[in-house]
């Protein structure tokens, strides 16, 4: 029931996925049973790839995460994450209240060892290939060491899921020079130079669009603003150039349409949690489900855990 | 001699301007006399709208502002601002080291009363009309009260120069709700609600592109990242859709080509200082010169001073 388009588009997206010949996983839809079953009927679905799990509690988009955890145990998002904890699901996807989803994942799945705070990581479009941008808004007022954790997480994600070899890591800043930016960013720059990463230094907004770094690290505030600017830019380009059909424009649409991005991964958890767009339609939901599967199959949380432990041991931190 | 394209493009831009029938001002070019005169000759200019003022000291893009102020008194940017202080010029434009330009303006022209810190304000493109974005990178780690000063400055600029009536002011944040964002942004939100402004609340990256606010206030770090992302977007759109020629695409190019923006105004000084793009070509220089004239003629510094004093008196701050 999460997101602006629930339950219609969520269920429609699940049905799209269930009917996809490339699907190698099953789907559990957690929501008020009757409502969800009604939607499945509307979509003409009667297959066995989708199971409905009753979760009658509704969570508002602006509801306090703490309140949701305490009082909405039977909400879709808490139910889903709890199924994952029990080993009945391998990944959880929500288009609802992202703060509540993060809190739910943190409380139920737990934080990966050696990680100060989990981040939301998104594969964002560039002029070349996707860049892993994090944090996209799970945190505020991060310490330099937390930003370094984000860089490590993002680097492991880029390698394990995107297949980028020795991914380059850039720090989103307001100039190339080491002494640019806030105090926190200047300190982070110093730490990143010493970290076991392919750190290429500060990157500016323009470099980000050019695809100059495989992983772009930013405080949650800036990362969130960047993510949403990119969406806005795609929407504007669509409005201005929507009728253009060239090879270049098709490639642009494929990369930049946020519905193709699969949502944000909550990185630094003992499990796979994805927050997808509040405005997610059925196509976005389908992408998020396939992305969730990819993360689970790639074993991102375990790989991250193993690499982080190795790094932290070797550097004695 | 400032910027990547100096002296060629700077002088070419000055000549373009000098030959423009709409020009109502004269130009002083501050740089090494022989070099500048040589360039003027190359451009075939021998009119009397351009005077060359000898300023042989060269300032590197990464040179410390303090050092420039102390040791490069005969640089183009210091010479130019000093001419303004003497009343021989009404505005100063530099494509060079923006930190040094800011320091030079601050030291020589002085800070407006009632302003904690000057900001760089840019008229940035949106889907509708231009939005005044500030701070675009003059400051870091601002206090909430400083961000409120930026909002007041931006609002006065939008009204006096852009002609926007009762301009709307948005705070660039990571969510619409008041309790979103960093501690500084949450506190700023509270203060903005009480300020004598048409404050419309938090705006997200997407709203910014839509043109939801006439004035967008952000910390210098975020503002700078946003400004450069917008440049990157335009460059990408140009690459993908450059061959498209429709009414919509022409309007998009007019609004989004950063060479048409006129540069960033240093807002909160006793005078007009403009930092234009380090990559400014002759077209960008021409726009910056016309923009500088517009600011000077509109008497932005004096208006800002008068309104700020009135506001501060009435609110007792």
Residue A317 is predicted with a pLDDT of 52
In this complex, do A249 and B233 lie within 8 Å of one another by their Cβ atoms? no
A97 and A56 within one domain: yes
What's the pLDDT tens digit per position in A20-62? 999 999 999 999 999 999 999 999 999 999 999 999 999 998 8
Which member of A185, A218, A244 has the closest CB to residue B241? A244
B93 in a domain, yes or no?
yes
Per-residue tokens: A220: 């949650």
A130 and A249 within one domain: yes
The least confident of A123-137, B100-114, B249-263 is B249-263
Q: For residue B140, which of A199, A187, A230, A147 has the smallest C-alpha distance?
A: A187
Residue A177 is predicted with a pLDDT of 87
CB A65 within 8 A of CB A102: yes
Chosen domain end from A244, A260, A276:
A260
A95 and A122 within one domain: no
What's the pLDDT tens digit per position in B178-233? 989 999 999 999 999 999 999 999 999 999 999 999 999 999 999 999 999 999 99
DSSP A259: G
DSSP A130: -
Mean pLDDT rounded to a whole number for chain A: 94
Beta strand residue intervals within chain B, DSSP E: 27-31, 50-54, 92-94, 119-124, 131-134, 168-172, 198-203, 215-217, 264-267, 273-275
B313 in a domain, yes or no?
no
B258 and B122 within one domain: yes
The domain in which residue A84 lies consists of 1-115+268-317
Which member of B224, B233, B241 has the closest CB to residue A209? B233
Q: How many CB atoms lie within 10 A of CB B297?
A: 14
In this complex, do B225 and A226 lie within 8 Å of one another by their Cβ atoms? yes
B262 pLDDT higher than 90:
no
pTM of the model: 0.93
CATH number at residue B196: 3.40.718.10
Residue A316 is predicted with a pLDDT of 61
**Which residue of A119, A180, A184, A206 to mutate against B (max B Cβ within 10 Å)?**
A206
Sequence-separated contacts (24+) of A245-251 with Cβ below 8 Å: A246/B243, A248/B239, A248/B240, A248/B241, A249/B240, A249/B241, A251/B240
A229 pLDDT higher than 60:
yes
Residue B259 is predicted with a pLDDT of 81
A160 pLDDT higher than 90:
no
A311 and A208 within one domain: no
What's the pLDDT tens digit per position in A60-72? 988 999 999 999 9
Mean pLDDT of A98-125: 93
In this complex, do B224 and A174 lie within 8 Å of one another by their Cβ atoms? yes
B127 in a domain, yes or no?
yes
Residue B154 is predicted with a pLDDT of 95
B140 in a domain, yes or no?
yes
B87 in a domain, yes or no?
yes
Chosen domain end from A238, A260, A282:
A260
Residue A20 is predicted with a pLDDT of 97
Categorize the per-residue pLDDT at A107 as very low, low, confident or very high, splitting at 50, 70 and 90: very high
CA distances from A81 to A48, A74, A258, B125 (A): 21, 11, 25, 42
Q: What percent of chain A has pLDDT over 70?
A: 99
Tokens 């839509």 found at: B210
Mean pLDDT of A172-196: 94
Chosen domain end from A260, A291, A308:
A260
B110 and B183 within one domain: no
Which member of A208, A218, A236 has the closest CB to residue B209? A236
Q: Looking at the 3D structure of chain A, how many domains does it have?
A: 2
Mean pLDDT of B139-158: 95
A97 and A54 within one domain: yes
A138 and A209 within one domain: yes
A184 and A198 within one domain: yes
Contact residues, chain B, for A205 at CB < 8 Å: 224-232
A233 and A204 within one domain: yes
A11 and A76 within one domain: yes
What's the pLDDT tens digit per position in B32-82? 999 999 999 999 999 999 999 999 999 998 899 999 999 999 999 999 999
Which residues touch B58 (CB under 8 Å, ≥6 apart)? B1, B32, B72, B75
A200 and A66 within one domain: no
In this complex, do B226 and A231 lie within 8 Å of one another by their Cβ atoms? no
Residue B313 is predicted with a pLDDT of 78
- Alpha-carbon gap, residue B287 to B223, rounded angstroms: 21
**Which residue of B173, B185, B232, B251 to mutate against A (max A Cβ within 10 Å)?**
B232
B100 in a domain, yes or no?
yes
Instruction: Examine the predicted complex and report whether its ipTM is higher than 0.95.
Output: no
Residue B316 is predicted with a pLDDT of 61
Contact residues, chain A, for B140 at CB < 8 Å: 174, 181-183
In this complex, do B209 and A239 lie within 8 Å of one another by their Cβ atoms? no
Q: In B131-182, where does DSSP find H-type helix?
A: 144-160
Categorize the per-residue pLDDT at B281 as very low, low, confident or very high, splitting at 50, 70 and 90: very high
B304 in a domain, yes or no?
no
Beta bridge partners of B100: none
CB A115 within 8 A of CB A81: no
């Amino acid at each position: 029931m999460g997101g602006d388009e629930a339950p219609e588009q969520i269920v429609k997206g699940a049905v799209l996925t269930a009917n996809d010949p490339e699907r190698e996983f099953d789907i559990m839809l957690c929501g008020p049973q009757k409502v969800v079953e009604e939607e499945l009927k509307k979509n003409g679905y009667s297959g066995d790839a989708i199971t409905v799990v009753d979760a009658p509690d509704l969570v508002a988009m602006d509801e306090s995460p703490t309140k949701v955890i305490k009082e909405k145990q039977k909400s879709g998002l808490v139910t889903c994450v709890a199924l994952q904890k029990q080993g009945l699901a391998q990944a959880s996807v929500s288009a609802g209240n992202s703060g509540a989803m993060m809190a739910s994942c943190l409380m139920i799945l737990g934080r990966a060892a050696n990680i100060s705070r989990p981040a939301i990581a998104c594969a964002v479009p560039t002029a070349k290939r996707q860049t892993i941008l994090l944090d996209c808004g799970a945190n505020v007022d991060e310490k330099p060491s937390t930003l370094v954790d984000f860089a490590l997480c993002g680097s492991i994600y880029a390698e394990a899921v995107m297949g980028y070899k020795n991914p380059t890591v850039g720090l989103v800043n307001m100039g190339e020079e080491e002494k640019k930016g806030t105090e926190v960013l200047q300190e982070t720059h110093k730490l990143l130079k010493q970290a076991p990463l392919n750190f290429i230094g500060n990157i500016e907004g323009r470099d980000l669009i050019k695809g100059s770094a495989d992983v772009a690290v930013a405080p949650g505030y800036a990362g969130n603003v960047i993510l949403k600017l990119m969406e806005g830019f795609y929407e504007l380009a669509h409005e201005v150039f929507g009728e253009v059909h060239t090879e270049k424009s098709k490639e642009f649409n494929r990369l930049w349409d946020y519905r193709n991005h699969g949502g944000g991964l909550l990185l630094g958890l003992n499990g796979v949690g994805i927050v997808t767009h509040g405005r997610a339609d059925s196509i976005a939901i389908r992408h998020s489900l396939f992305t969730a599967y990819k993360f689970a199959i790639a074993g991102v949380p375990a790989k991250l855990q193993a690499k982080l432990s190795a790094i932290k041991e070797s550097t004695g931190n």
